[in-house]
Each structure stands twice: as C-alpha cells, then as structure tokens.
Amino acid sequence: MSSNRPKVFISSTVFDFRDLRSSLKFWLEELGYTVFLSENNDFPVQADLNSYENCLRAIDESDYFILLVGGRVGGMYDEQNKTSITQAEYRRAYDQLVNGKIKLISFVRREIWDIKEDRKSLASLLESELSKSSEKADVISRICNRNNKFVTDADFIFNFISEISRNSEMNSTKNSPLLRPPGNWVRQFTSFRDIVDALRIDLRIELNLRSVAIRTNLLAEIELNLSELIARSKPDGGFDQKSQWAYSARKSLTGGIDDSSQIDGRSLVSLRRFILFGCGLGKKLSMVALDEAIRSGEFLDFDKTKSSWTVGSMQSSLITLSREIERLRFADELMTSATRVLMHNKLEEIEPNSSCSIKNSDFLPLFAIHDRLSNVTELFKALHTAISSNAPTLANLNLIGPSPIEKENATMSKARPSSIEVLEWINHLDK
C-alpha cells in the first residue's frame, strides 16, 4: 500500500451499503487513492486495539472521510449514550476536520432526506392542530418518528442528519458568520453516479493517477532536458537556446550541397561556441517519460464520427519529438569529436570583422545538428505549455525540415506520401 497516496475512509452502515461501498472503493483505487473499508481484509489493523479503535485510528490517518447515511442505525459504539458506530466515526472525523487534518464529505439517501423533510412539515402541522392537547408532544413524536421499511429508527436517523448538518450550531450563529461550523454541507443521492459526480468536484478528480503520473513525469523530463538545451549566455544574464549560437551562420547557407556560402566572421565566432557546447547534446536527453507517454495513449484524440481513437496534434507532436531526438543523436554521431576540433580550429583563424566563403558540404552535418536541436527545443517548449495548461491541442509549430538544403526539403516533401495516400496504397495491395 503506497504511503504517499491520498487516503479515503468510507463510513456507513455496512449491510445496506455493501455494494455501494465496494463500488466506491474500486473506483477510487482505480484513480490512485488508498481506500479504507472496515469489512475488507486490506483494512489496516493494529493487533493491540479493538475493532472500534482500529476504525478510529484509520480515520486519523485518512485525508478524506466519506459519510453515507441511509435508513439503518447499524451497530452501537456506546449503548448507554445511544451512539452508533457510524456516528462515532463521524464525530472522530469532525474533530479532525476542525483541526484541519481531514476533509469531510457527507451523503444522505434522497428518500431518507425527503421523509425527514415531510415529517418535519407534518410536525409543524400537528403542532398547530394539537395546540390544546396535553399529550401533544408525545402524539407528534409517535406520528413523526414512526418507523417504516425505509427507516428503522426514524428518531435516531433524523437526529443524526441534523447533527451532520450542524443545525443547532447554524441556528445559534446566525448573527456570527465567523463562528459558523465547517463541514456541514450534506449532499443527497439516489445513485452511484450522484456520489461520483460530487466526489469529482470535492476530490478535484480530473484525471486518474496514471494520467497524472504520465503528465507529471513528462513535464519533469521536459524541464530536465531543457536545462541541457539552454544556457545563460545573454548580456543581461538571461538564457538562450544553444541552437541559437549556430542560427546566424545557418541562415547564411545558400545553394546546394556542391555550392559555397558567404558567412560573416561574427556568425562564425558564435558557430565556434556551438561546435564546442551545442554538439553532442542528443545523448544527454532523457526519453523515458516521453516513450511512456506515447505508449500509454494518454494523448490520443477520440473521433466521435468514427467512434475510434486517432492521433491528434498532441500525440503527433510527441511522436515527432521522439523522431527528432533520434535524428539529433544520429547527427551527433556523424560529427565526431575529432571533426569538431578540426572545424573549430579552422574557424578560429577567421577574424570577427571579416567574412569567409565556406563549402556547404563541409558544414551540412553541423547545420543538421542545429536544425534537429532547434526542433527538439521548440517541441519541448510547446508541449510543456500545452500539458501544463491542459490544452487539448498544440500550437502550430514551424519546424525545420530534415535537410539543411531547402530545395531538398521541397523535393523530399513532395515525394513523401500523406497518411491518406499510405492507406490508399495499403488498401490497393489488399485487392
């Protein structure tokens, strides 16, 4: 049992709530909560305590206390003071609530609540009709607190509901808002769905724990990776993308692989820094959370028209990021340490205020690293923003093509089939 998971204690009479209790336990545990049900074998028991004290101890360890009130009293905790086990559990939880140690969420079956309200109205009516009767109080009590198939002990149940509603305290503090009791909101329910809908709000359940873990781990991994891809290099002490060190020289690239480009000296000075500190970063990037996010399907989109899951912008961007990191690592491998040293030493001879004509073929591997590094950084930033804000889609990104030669990118893009064309090709093969 994970100690860092939020703990929920479910309190109610067991006999009439058995199915609902087990359903709530299953649902909450699927969402990542630890759930305490006294009738289950996984309920935490301390051998030197009796069963009642074990329940109260479990409440002290819980973060949430869910109370379900129906028409049965259940077992008694204190016969002399007529305190039921559920009532004792509630009072322990309320003490914890007052001390800020637990959150209390109360539910009452709607039919029980309605019966209580009807009999409250009936009592008011009888009060006026029997105003002259000496046995008025006894008559009203016998009529309004009579038992039926829904309520086994109406007087006890109605008083308990009044207790959890904190009616007496609310009435006594009408003129003192700051003294009003906490935790007295009572929700009526008729179905499991009513309880689930309320708990989604009270427990702030938007995602299950697996989804939360996937997103949290991915955000942490992105932040860790970005710490490798940016550096404090601006004059004002601000951070800059390491890919920016090669940007100016990369932008000066013109023509094809057999051509040459004219690059100014300042751009080449910045490029030298990129050669030293911007290359070889691919192997430093973690992909554990990224791979898990892709495999999990957490970021797939649901197509209502097809009633199926599809790859939308978020999932597509995750896949693209994975591919770009692999390409970056491959480009890094092509640019060996020896090659980088030779290139750096050659550029060191060029004066900052001059310009130099370079062969495109000599620098294409270096610019390929720049392009992949720039794409990876942009994808990291966009994904972090989208995931942090729970955005359903990703902002449009203008990523650099697979080749540093623009003309080659156009040719490759034209030759590459679209997803629809791939499906058409597959279907054609099947015929």
Among 144-153, 160-169, 289-298, whose mean pLDDT is lowest?
144-153
- The pLDDT of residue 235: 82
Top pLDDT among 123 and 9 is at: 9
Question: Is residue 422 over pLDDT 50?
Answer: yes
pLDDT band for position 2 (cuts 50, 70, 90): very low
Top pLDDT among 419 and 275 is at: 275
Report the phi/psi class of residue 104: left, alpha or beta, with left for phi > 0 and alpha for psi in -120 to 50: beta
**Percent of all residues in the chain with a pLDDT value above 70, rounded to a whole number:** 90
pLDDT band for position 141 (cuts 50, 70, 90): low
| Residue linked to tokens 């009572």 | 186
- Selection from 287, 280, 379 nearest residue 331 by Cα: 280
Question: Is residue 173 over pLDDT 90?
Answer: no
For residue 202, the surrounding DSSP H or E stretch is: helix 192-202
pLDDT digit string (tens) for 52-91? 999 999 999 999 999 999 989 999 999 999 999 999 999 9
- The pLDDT of residue 124: 59
Q: Is residue 293 a contact partner of residue 211, using CB atoms and an 8 Å limit?
A: no
Is the pTM for the entire model greater than 0.75?
A: no
User: Beta-carbon neighbour count of residue 217 at 10 Å?
Assistant: 15
Among 31-35, 206-210, 403-407, whose mean pLDDT is lowest?
206-210
Q: Report CA-CA distances (Å) from 31 to 11, 16, 27, 39, 208.
A: 19, 25, 7, 21, 4
Report the phi/psi class of residue 74: left, alpha or beta, with left for phi > 0 and alpha for psi in -120 to 50: left
Note the Cα 399 to chain centre separation in Å. 28
d(CA 383, CA 318): 8
pLDDT band for position 1 (cuts 50, 70, 90): very low
What is the mean predicted confidence (pLDDT) over 346-350? 87
d(CA 158, CA 120): 10
- Selection from 135, 10, 25 nearest residue 66 by Cα: 10
Question: Is residue 305 over pLDDT 90?
Answer: no
- The pLDDT of residue 148: 58
pLDDT band for position 412 (cuts 50, 70, 90): confident
Question: Is residue 429 over pLDDT 60?
Answer: yes
pLDDT digit string (tens) for 211-250? 888 999 999 999 999 999 999 988 888 899 999 999 999 9
What is the mean predicted confidence (pLDDT) over 406-425? 81
pLDDT band for position 430 (cuts 50, 70, 90): low
pLDDT digit string (tens) for 20-29? 999 999 999 8
Report the phi/psi class of residue 295: left, alpha or beta, with left for phi > 0 and alpha for psi in -120 to 50: alpha
pLDDT digit string (tens) for 239-291? 999 999 999 999 999 999 999 999 999 999 999 999 999 999 999 999 999 99
- Selection from 240, 249, 254, 253 nearest residue 267 by Cα: 249
> Which residues fall within 8 angstroms of residue 119, CB to CB, at 6 or more apart?
144, 145, 154, 158
Q: In this structure, what DSSP letter does residue 284 have?
A: G
d(CA 232, CA 9): 50
- The pLDDT of residue 12: 95
Where in the chain is CATH 3.40.50?
A: 7-202
**Percent of all residues in the chain with a pLDDT value above 90, rounded to a whole number:** 57
- The pLDDT of residue 52: 92
d(CA 372, CA 41): 55
- The pLDDT of residue 402: 83
Most confident by average pLDDT, 33-37, 129-133, 345-349: 33-37
Q: Which CATH architecture has domain 7-202?
A: 3-Layer(aba) Sandwich (3.40)
- The pLDDT of residue 247: 95
SS3 content of the chain, % helix, strand, coil (to 5): 55, 10, 35
